[in-house]
Structure 1
Amino acid sequence: MNAELSSLPGRARIHAALGDPARLAIVDALTLGDASPGEIAGTLKMPTNLVAHHVKVLTDAGLVTRGRSEGDRRRTYLRLRPEALATLNPPPLAGVGRVVFVCTHNSARSQLAAALWSDRTHSATASAGTRPARRVHPRAVAVARRHGLDLDPTGTAQVADVARDDDLLIAVCDNAHEELTGPIRPRLHWSVPDPVRVDTDAAFEAAFTDLADRVDRLTPAVARQPPGHGSCRRPDHDPERTHR
């Protein structure tokens, strides 16, 4: 990917270029196929001089390129650069060996987040607590099962016993985020309300939905690791495969 496009100034130019409805319409028109400026003007019912202005802005931002027709050499075709649109997403998180979710008691949110991560990515994960409970909350076990996931009711752990240097540590509750300092400092914080305080099925479902949405957003941002790193160990020989 072009480093200039993926820089903050480059990404800002792309966002600015897409901030005009007419330019966004041109990008939409070019998403599935190439077109000449005249064809764009006809499709969008836009004056050709206005199309020329917007195309220049999109070209300067790195979103669109021009190419001469191999037939009628007087004609120009516009082509969208999908890699430029890809830069609108946050850059990937590099150097992630494993994703570890942390909450206070390791009895609900962190357990559900680890189960979701394992289900979505099939990669190494773990969960832990700053003050782990003896057991996973029964409603957490139940909501996981309703969504086809399994939790070990006795599988809680202390974060100091679980965290490793190359882990991506994510605090899924405010208390854990604020308690952890020094070498065990979360890299990300998800402020997910504690369902245990309400202690209803609806509260646990809401927490599950919130975590599932956040996991799905994070998944593309975690850089793919080389073979043999972290997630490629055989699950049946990996004691950290359990969602602690």
Structure 2
Amino acid sequence: MAENRASAYGEGVPCWVDAQLPDVEAGKRFYGELFGWTYEDAYGSTVWARLDGEPVAALAHKADGRLPTVWTVYFSTPDAEATSRRILAAGGQIVTAPLPVGDGLGGSALATDPEGAVFGLWQPGTHPGFGRRHEPGTFAWAELYARDTAAVNAFYGHLFHDALFGPDADPDFGRAPVADVFPAEMPPHFVVHFGVEDCEAVLGTVQRLGGRVQAGPFEASYGTVAVVTDNQGASFALLQR
């Protein structure tokens, strides 16, 4: 088992990511070459990406062409129903109510914060989340680009206080103004970051595979970052620490 395998993630810790794509096979080729991922069928049309045998992400077929092609970060929760009620009480919205996933894998929900940024909840069953993280080719960080950072800090600080501010906090989750990186009119949104050893070198691979560079590389408090899109339009970031 990988050294950084977590048997369970605390409430509010980013524990999983998935990409909703028009063409999962094309996504497998893109990310397989970019990050060295291999794949196995998980449930329905969803595949799990693995690195050295450990699960690191999921690729899913986008059922409705009107939905965005997007990477989503999921925060761990012991009770998705209870967390959903707290989100509503704090001014957020529930996009997809908690539903069971697979054969006992867990339960998921989609929500938005008060500014409309979409994030997921994951209530673990037999699948706790990432088998590897914080290394090249795996999840490294989630950054929320917001309109009002004070307001979203209050929202997430209330929702996931221990994960963000508790004595054992390991947040993997930052907040920044949208205009720091994107045009001011860009809606608030999360950007999932994957670790790389050499940001510049990986940018070349992204472009060779049909992706494009949206921003960077630039220096952030947590490392060197470049925001890119894959060859189907899903945005994510590369993080060199």
TM-score band w.r.t. shorter chain: under 0.3
Q: TM-score, normalised by structure 2?
A: 0.22
Larger proportion of helix: 1
Between structure 1 and structure 2, the one with the greater Rg is 1
| TM-score, length basis structure 1 | 0.22
